[in-house]
Chain A
């Protein structure tokens, strides 16, 4: 067994892990070690060759590789260490141990004073949404197709139907079109766009790709390779209207039907998971139910903008470093964040009201799209924060800002109110 020690161990060398590592170093942690299963740092951004990253953080529109490149450079500058091709098998936080393996060192035991979970997320698959029909070749999740096209130079198909109007699906619609494929249509179950409007314009409208809202794929056909799919409109209960279904010929189907935080390690470690986000419950320090374990990025909740991930991850890195140095006080005075009207989930789920310079951003997603609303944080009847939004929708994360000094009682409710009510 190969034995290693460090102050802060980070599982995942993607945008979350990199930002956390940099913040941990900047806070004063001595040995910061990233464990990454891929053969390079950068995580999912390695395959996100399109622009749209860094608008808030760098005030520039960068591609994925440019964005993570800046973090890798800074991490190396600061002396962040990393082990590539390394798969974590187990997190044993009670003993401050991580068990991992790599071809270079074999089975490895890493001792760390604090641990940061930054494993990102996985895609929901065809099997996960149980689409009826055959199981031919030519079916991919949008992200797998993206990896094959952008990192392995493999063209996944010529005539494509995409299920799901999430950002990944739309971006692949553009990518496939530019590489000469025909993207026949994008099919979306809900009656609104799942991803950013900007992507609908630049990835679908630009290429004349029709978007079928309130539709779904009811059946996949094809023996060895997919030959086509049946597409039907759905009613208000999201049930397909069989009489109106149409056969659409294609040789490839891309599924962009949701991302699931990758928390196998978290669950195995007995760390509390929030049932709505499917990620660990955290406080504003990104600290989980296990005091020495922190979490950041898509493993906590799926984000739209990597700029936000970098911000949240810097929090995790800073406080994980403070914890490793014995400078983070035990949690007292925990305030629970409660979801109010039209709020699906909140992150963080709890707030340590004793935070010294107490300014906490609580991020959330709405359940339904709405216009002309007010975002409100209140303790009982006392409104402690509010601001107006012209438009809110589930595909675009929102936030409220809370000053811990204004918290009274054990809960704070975050809700969306229609103006004039």
Chain B
């Protein structure tokens, strides 16, 4: 099975043509570096994405804390993770990289703060 994958590792956006058996890449062409090849291998079978969003900061009207997944999440789990994050509120103080939601959706990925907020 062939897939055209546009690499997103760096702004170059190499177009990689990957051919495989649906689960694993057997041949690939069009990548310009090792990271691109690794990306194509993952993207082919199990695409992953970094999730970024905001979490309500309790106690301050409309105040938000930006958060991110510390590692990429399976693409198909993004909306389920968003539901959990939307139901979460945090209290200041928060330090950048504090874990807000550990092991979200059982994926082994934490949702962490990307900003430090004083009390």
Q: Count the A-B residue pairs with Cβ separation under 8 angstroms: how many? A: 71
CB distance from A158 to the nearest CB of B (A): 15
Chain B residues 46-69 with CB under 8 Å of chain A are 49-54, 56, 62-64, 66-68
Q: Hey, which chain B residues are within 8 Å of A49, CB to CB?
A: 52-54, 66-68, 114
Residue on B nearest A178 in the bound complex, by CB: B82
Chain A residues 65-105 with CB under 8 Å of chain B are 65-66, 69
B2 at the binding interface (Cβ < 8 Å): no
Partner of A55, one of B11, B50, B63: B11
Cβ contact within 8 Å between B50 and A51: yes
Cβ contact within 8 Å between A63 and B52: yes
Cβ contact within 8 Å between B96 and A198: no
Cβ contact within 8 Å between B96 and A66: yes
Q: Hey, which chain A residues are within 8 Å of B8, CB to CB?
A: 198, 201-202
Q: Hey, which chain B residues are within 8 Å of A198, CB to CB?
A: 6, 8, 11, 13
Residue on B nearest A61 in the bound complex, by CB: B50
Q: Hey, which chain B residues are within 8 Å of A63, CB to CB?
A: 52, 66, 68, 114
Cβ contact within 8 Å between B64 and A50: no
- Give A64 to B96 CA distance when docked, in angstroms: 12
- Give A202 to B82 CA distance when docked, in angstroms: 16
Chain B residues 78-103 with CB under 8 Å of chain A are 78-79, 82, 96
A131 at the binding interface (Cβ < 8 Å): no
The answer to whether A197 and B82 touch (CB under 8 A), given A51-B50, A63-B66, is: no
Give the B interface residue count (CB, 8 A).
26
Give the A interface residue count (CB, 8 A).
29
A243 at the binding interface (Cβ < 8 Å): no
Q: Hey, which chain A residues are within 8 Å of B63, CB to CB?
A: 153
Looking at A65, A151, A152, A304, the one whose CB has the most chain B CB atoms below 10 A away is A65
Footprint of A on B, CB under 8 Å? 6, 8, 10-11, 13, 49-54, 56, 62-64, 66-68, 75, 78-79, 82, 96, 114-116
Listed A/B pairs (27) with beta-carbon separation below 8 Å: A49-B68, A51-B50, A55-B10, A55-B11, A61-B50, A63-B68, A63-B114, A64-B66, A65-B115, A66-B96, A66-B114, A69-B114, A69-B115, A150-B66, A152-B62, A153-B54, A153-B64, A178-B51, A178-B78, A179-B82, A196-B11, A197-B6, A198-B6, A202-B8, A202-B49, A206-B75, A304-B11
